[in-house]
Amino acid sequence: MEDMADPVPGIDYPRTFEEFDRFFPDEDACRRYLTRVRWRAGFSCRGCGCGDSPWVTARGYLHCRKCERETSITAGTVFERTRSPLKTWFLVMWLVTSQKHGASALGLQRVLGLSRYDTAWTWLHKLRRAMVRPGRERLSGRVEVDETYVGGTKVGGKRGRGAEKKEIVAIAVEIHSPKGFGRVRMRRVLDVSGESLVPFVCDLVQAGSEILTDGWRGYNALGDHGYTRTKTVLSDTADPAHVAMPGVHRIAALLKRWLLGTHQGGVSAKHLDDYLDEYTFRFNRRSSRARGLLFHRLMEQAATTGPTRYRDLVGGNHNG
Ligand SMILES: [Zn+2]
């Protein structure tokens, strides 16, 4: 629901781990695959413009048969200047995308037998940076928007007291009729003021959409930005178990379970956005029957996402 083109299972991507093994027996196979994904429309040499298929050198370059110019296969991708084999990267991507809840750094360290936790952590974060597709469309139609609190020691609480040590995550989800959800977007916000919440909606939801919210005043200005706001005020309903925003409520519950379960709650505030991106990537592709398709989508985005410097990852510089 989030992507265009139609890759062919078993040909464009492996469907099972057995196929994965057959797809990627060595570095050369990995380079060819990355080349195919990166230059989907066919490679053309930037030196002479010729479209003849280049040969792949042992050092990982495409060598133009006509003008001899060499083009790095990994430069400008997540794998740029990596010291690890592509095959290891691909395996990590397979583990992240083939498991329903993804992979944790600790789990990855164990499976790959890495001596350092940091290595696994860095790989996962680099891949998370590739999970947001540049230029993705904004949500549209009927969209529920609400905030939730993540992390900290206190549970529950909405807007205000008890929330001091928690991070606030704004969530928007498309509501389908008669039931079901479409795509989701989420982002950490500093507070629940209109200055934080309205830009969240403007950045991620198309103007003209109907925004469903509760009665919170932070959303009052939405009308000035071309949205129709439909308010549901919780205190108007007699049922104490009623939730005003069932879509957001459900997603927030799943998100928290994932953070606590897969990642043992060990997510610091400055890295929270990266985890939200991974969660969103998986949620918005939940209807992909073949897990291998998710691997392919991540590969497509990894092939077009520049590398993130380690210090930006550690510092939590999300847009770095
Ligand atoms: Zn050339």
CA of 12 to the centre of ligand 1 (A): 27
Report the C-alpha gap between 278 and 284 in whole angstroms.
10
Task: Return the pLDDT at 318.
Answer: 66
CA of 303 to the centre of ligand 1 (A): 21
* Structure tokens given for 277: 């991106």
**Which residue do the tokens 């990995």 mark?**
30
CA of 99 to the centre of ligand 1 (A): 41
3-state DSSP call for residue 170?
A: strand
pLDDT (tens digit, 9 = 90+) per residue, 17-32?
999 999 999 999 999 9
Report the C-alpha gap between 320 and 143 in whole angstroms.
29
CA of 43 to the centre of ligand 1 (A): 10
**CB of 62 closer than 8 Å to CB of 73:** yes
CA of 51 to the centre of ligand 1 (A): 8
Report the C-alpha gap between 195 and 199 in whole angstroms.
7
**CB of 149 closer than 8 Å to CB of 159:** no
Task: Return the pLDDT at 154.
Answer: 43
CA of 48 to the centre of ligand 1 (A): 4
Q: Establish whether the linkage from the previous residue to 14 is cis, with ω within 30° of 0.
A: no
Which of 179, 187, 193 lies closest to 142 in space, CA to CA? 179
Task: Return the pLDDT at 269.
Answer: 83
Task: Return the pLDDT at 111.
Answer: 93
* pLDDT by position in tens, the chain (length 320): 456 578 898 999 999 999 999 999 999 999 999 999 999 888 889 899 988 889 888 888 999 999 999 999 999 999 998 889 999 999 999 999 988 889 999 999 999 999 999 999 999 999 998 998 777 889 999 999 999 999 864 444 455 544 456 899 999 999 998 889 999 999 999 999 999 999 999 999 999 999 999 989 999 999 999 999 999 876 665 555 567 788 999 999 999 999 988 888 778 888 899 999 999 999 998 887 677 899 999 999 999 887 776 677 777 766 54
Q: How far, rounded to the nearest angstrom, does the alpha carbon of residue 246 sit from its chain's CA centroid? A: 23
CA of 70 to the centre of ligand 1 (A): 8
Give the single-character DSSP code of 188. E
